Amino acid sequence: MSGRVRDLVSRLVESVGTVIVGKDAEVELCVLAILCRGHVLIEDVPGVGKTMLAKALARASGCSFERIQFTPDLLPGDVTGVSVFDPRSTAFEFRRGPVFAQVLLADEINRATPKTQSALLEAMEEAQVTVDGQTHHLPEPFVVLATQNPIELGGTFPLPEAQVDRFLFKVDLGYLPVDGEVAMLDRFQAASPLDDMLPVTSPEELVESQRVSAATYCDPGLKEYCVRLVQRTREHPDVALGASPRGSLGLMHAAQARAAAQGRDFVLPDDLKELAPGVLTHRVILRPNAELRGLTAAAVVDEILASEAVPTASRRLA
């Protein structure tokens, strides 16, 4: 079964790679997030392909897709939907919002007010929304791909800590090198390759791959190592707020997905070490004096990874 997951991941990364040049590692993180029912926050300056990455992944996955352009005047009901009175039936009828899609692109999410940003909290954590006391379940699979501009740019609002914590990965795309940007110009010279993209998988195959990923074995010693890494972020003297238990859970699930994506039915220490920066860095809030010294959350996570002893792990015997 893990071999089928590896094939699915390979197909998705290759397909999205026809549109997004030179970012296979970032694309793979997005695919891993889908495998472990996580969500992705894509942050960088305008024009580096954040929205294009989300649209290409949705197109390749074969899932239903909706896009919400977040603006300061966007209301929570514009995301989740609203109950409207129907005079013919003399009852309120729920009209679903764009959140009822398998792949939701929350474009420039930090241009909306915190109240509207928070409308996604229940959806991201529980795959459901509650409106007027009625709970409505979201389709499977469900993933939020949110893009945001750095908070230093005008017209942005910082995301609430509770919402940032619900993103499994935070991905920074960055600029392409010269040869990569030239290749991008060649690829988009006549038309966008996104127009010719066809699905390379299906929602049913993705849901089955999620089940395989969740069943991937993780040695008890690696679970303890995972928790130790997260606890070290809370104990670090330069950290005001470390990663939450949701961070521990997310790191383990991400490692399971990486193992399945590589055709294994068991997690290795390298799975945890490779994914820890993407899972933990955005969950670490530094003390003001540490930021003044130029310290970054990424440097703290790297320091923890370098100093924490890595356990050995065995494959589960049948």
What are the structural domains of the chain?
2-72+101-127+136-208 (3.40.50.300), 216-307 (1.10.8.80)
3-class secondary-structure state, position 100? coil
pLDDT at 220: 92
Q: Checking phi first, is residue 183 left (phi over 0); if not, alpha (psi -120 to 50) or beta?
A: alpha
pLDDT at 277: 94
pLDDT at 318: 45
Cα–Cα distance for residue pair 102/308, rounded to 1 Å: 38
Gyration radius from the chain CA atoms: 20
Classify the C-alpha dihedral 36-41-44-48 as positive or negative. Answer: positive
Taking only the tens place, the pLDDT of each residue in 196-219 is: 889 999 999 999 999 999 999 999
**At a CB cut-off of 8 Å and minimum separation 6, what does 70 contact?**
106, 107, 108, 109, 110, 111, 112, 116, 117
Q: How many helices (H) and strands (E) does the chain have?
A: 14, 11
Cα–Cα distance for residue pair 141/36, rounded to 1 Å: 10
Determine which of 24-33, 60-69, 108-117, 130-139 has the lowest per-residue pLDDT on average.
108-117
Taking only the tens place, the pLDDT of each residue in 88-100 is: 877 888 889 999 9
Q: Which two tokens stand for residue 89?
A: 């039936």
In sequence order, which ranges of the chain are alpha helices (DSSP H)?
A: 2-17, 24-35, 50-61, 76-80, 114-117, 121-126, 161-164, 178-187, 203-214, 220-235, 245-261, 269-280, 288-292, 297-307
Q: What is the pTM of this model?
A: 0.89
Is pLDDT above 50 for 317?
A: no
Q: Which two tokens stand for residue 178?
A: 């010269």
Distances (CA, A) of 283 to 58, 86, 234, 289, 303: 26, 44, 10, 18, 15
pLDDT at 316: 59
Kindly state the average pLDDT of the residues 54-61: 89
Distances (CA, A) of 72 to 38, 66, 75, 112, 113: 26, 19, 9, 4, 6
* Local structure of residue 167 (DSSP, 8 states): -
Is pLDDT above 70 for 47?
A: yes
3-class secondary-structure state, position 7? helix
